[in-house]
Chains A and B, each alone.
Chain A
Amino acid sequence: MRDFILILPSVLMMAAPILIAAMGGLVSERSGVSNIALEGLMGIGAFTAATAHYFMEAGAGPASVWLALAFGLLAGMAVSLIHAFASVSLGADQVISGTGINLLAIGVPVFLSQIIFRMERTQPFRIGMMPGPGGVYPTAYVALVVVLLTWYVLYKRPLGLRLRACGEHPQAAAGAGIDVRAMRYGAVLASGALAGLAGACLVLTQTIQYTQNTINGAGFIALAAVSFGRWLPKGVTGASLLFGGAVALAIYMVNVEALRRLPPEFFSVLPYLITLVTLVAFSGKDWAPQAIGKAFDKGRS
């Protein structure tokens, strides 16, 4: 199976942004704030990174890609502040606030592109991120670091325990002296930063410019990966790799002579079919954090 080795870089390229964004979603949801804004935050990150890279490419050389990733991360974090403010400080409905950001992320990059580039997309940059040995993009390593770091902080540090407590029973956590609001603010900002980073990774490895459909649902897939992975780092990692793998698999399955006779639509549907089947096969009890989606109210018990 020579094809199997060749397929791996494609899988990692597609899975890395989903994985990073899903870790962001995981952190936010474990603190009790659902974050359906991942898609929009990825868009903001992608737009910022594509724009930053376009302008820095000539001057900063190879460092430009990494600076662009940093800009994407910061932009995602900045915009997620809206979500944190609305859902933590104001106690607004988290789904509404997330939807607001997703809508915002459709309009704002296009609007800014109009101002900066006089068109509805960014100018294409010359060269994005270059793949390393074996054709694997460095974003795969970024994703690995993000996963390990998330796991370590959530499960091996007191901070992680407190954060998870806020998502399960915030009143109890508050009783134990944890500042639930500060914790949730931090978690939402972290998820914004990761989603922004994910968008930046996506645009720099998979395309040559930011357009309205650059993200193309990757944020929603990341969101699905969070619940599909049962809000656990290893589960979410597996789910993200499955999504990436299914897409790549569909591309390579066409090569198998016996499968050529199937209609092409079959291969387009395949990733979603695999996802649905696994989702049904692994469904069971509700694994979601207890307090997810509920605004924190000190007085309630």
Chain B
Amino acid sequence: MKYGKILFALLAIALVMSGCAKKEDAAVAPAAPAFRIGLVTDLGGIDDKSFNQSTWEGVVRFAQANGLKQGTDYKYLQSSAEADYVPNLSTFADEKLDLIVAPGFLFEKAMGEVADKYPQQKLLVIDTVVQKPNVVSAVFAEHEGSFLVGVAAGLKAKADGKNILGFIGGMQFPLIERFQAGFEQGVKAVFPEARILVDYAGDFGAPDKGQALAQKQYNAGAYIIFHAAGGTGNGLIKEAKERSEKGDIRWAIGVDKDQYADGAYGAGKSAVLTSMLKRVDVAAHDVAVMAKNGQFPGGTVKVFSLANNGVGIPETNPNLSADIVAQVKTFAQQVTSGARTISEVPAK
């Protein structure tokens, strides 16, 4: 039976490998183009409908505006394990690309290492800070975007005669607390009497916890819940859909990307009121433009806020009335003009 074991092990290995074979975008020899840019994905993959995909869209937008060719001038490498980060970044650095982009805070350590190893290489890391002279760190003013969805949620709740709202965070640390702080200030700005329930799931990838927390908050009377919890938020959206489907209308607010489609139920309805967008594509695009124009701000932290379209709500919000959208815009202007400042820490 010895051969059986070996045969089986080989079979298993072969099958697993066939599952993850499609990994690299063709890395063909370059023909000395004007500007070359590469993206290294984190574990989520290029089509994760989230950070990787949005960042890639920003790269593609830049590339198309400049007539670059995919595969030679702009390309991506997928990481299938955290151990791939440094090798993938180094591969692009060895090819001497003009700019290498990496989305997500998971890259923090790998970016620092590669920045030291290739001091001439221009690097962009998104959503975290790496203090190296050749790295630009793009971060977002999440509290400003969250403020806007808070305004929208407050107005919606007030219009429908409800006074309890909710917030579900992934893990409790300053970055996620910025979402909470902005949301609370937004709600209070238009609806001071409203109560806001706050819970942290302690996990970004546990929809079951998200759903249980949503059940708890909805049972306690919450009408609209905003989540900053990644995959955990899927549980919230599911709970909102189910209740709304049964006639008990409740809303969820999406995060990072426009989650309207995730909330679809019934005939053309969605339980996602609006979403707090983090425009990683804007960050990738804008920094690429700066690098191309010879103005690469190496060693600095670029904040993408309402003022430079780095955060905000989607262009279309079918669930918000024109009046609410107009009021949200007014508040957005107050923030960008400096007339109103949003605190990054939640009120105790």
The interface of chain A, by Cβ under 8 A from chain B, is 6, 9-10, 13-14, 86, 89-93, 96-97, 100-101, 103-104, 106-108, 110-111, 114, 118-121, 124, 126-128, 130-131, 135, 202, 206-209, 211, 213-214, 216, 247-248, 251-252, 254-255, 264-265, 267-268, 295
> Considering the complex, which residues of chain B in the window 165-207 have a beta carbon less than 8 Å from any beta carbon of chain A?
171-172, 199-200, 202-203, 205-207
Which of B111-119, B123-131, B237-245 sits within the interface? B237-245
Determine which of B48, B200, B208, B261 lies in contact with A124 in the assembled complex, contact meaning CB atoms within 8 Å: B261
- Chain B residues closer than 8 Å to A89, beta-carbon distance: 4
Determine which of A97, A118, A206 lies in contact with B208 in the assembled complex, contact meaning CB atoms within 8 Å: A206
Whether A107 contacts B47 by the Cβ 8 Å rule is no
A-B contact count (CB 8 A): 138
Q: Given A13-B212, A97-B12, A206-B238, 17 other A-B contacts at CB below 8 A?
A: A91-B4, A92-B4, A92-B5, A93-B5, A104-B12, A104-B19, A114-B22, A120-B48, A126-B241, A126-B266, A130-B245, A131-B242, A135-B215, A207-B234, A208-B237, A216-B206, A268-B202
The interface of chain B, by Cβ under 8 A from chain A, is 1, 4-5, 7-9, 11-12, 15-16, 18-20, 22, 44-45, 47-49, 171-172, 199-200, 202-203, 205-209, 211-213, 215-216, 219, 231, 234-235, 237-238, 241-242, 245-246, 261-262, 264-266
List of 6 A-B pairs having minimum Cβ-Cβ separation, nearest first = A107-B19, A90-B4, A100-B12, A268-B202, A207-B207, A10-B212
Task: Given the known inter-chain contacts A111-B19, A264-B200, please indicate yes or no for A120 contacting B44, CB distance below 8 A.
Answer: yes
Closest to A251 in B: B212
Of listed B4, B15, B49, B212, residue having the most chain A CB within 10 A:
B212
Task: Given the known inter-chain contacts A6-B219, A91-B4, A103-B16, please indicate yes or no for A247 contacting B208, CB distance below 8 A.
Answer: yes
What is the bound-complex CA distance between A123 and B132, given in angstroms? 40
Whether B207 contacts A214 by the Cβ 8 Å rule is yes
- Decide if the interface of chain B is mainly helix, strand, loop or mixed: helix
Whether B19 contacts A264 by the Cβ 8 Å rule is no
Whether A108 contacts B8 by the Cβ 8 Å rule is no
Determine which of A97, A247, A268 lies in contact with B212 in the assembled complex, contact meaning CB atoms within 8 Å: A247
What are 9 sample pairs from A and B whose C-beta atoms fall under 8 A apart?
A6-B219, A103-B16, A110-B19, A124-B261, A127-B245, A207-B211, A216-B206, A251-B199, A264-B172
- Chain A residues closer than 8 Å to B211, beta-carbon distance: 10, 13, 206-207
Determine which of B9, B44, B219, B245 lies in contact with A96 in the assembled complex, contact meaning CB atoms within 8 Å: B9
- Chain B residues closer than 8 Å to A104, beta-carbon distance: 12, 15-16, 19
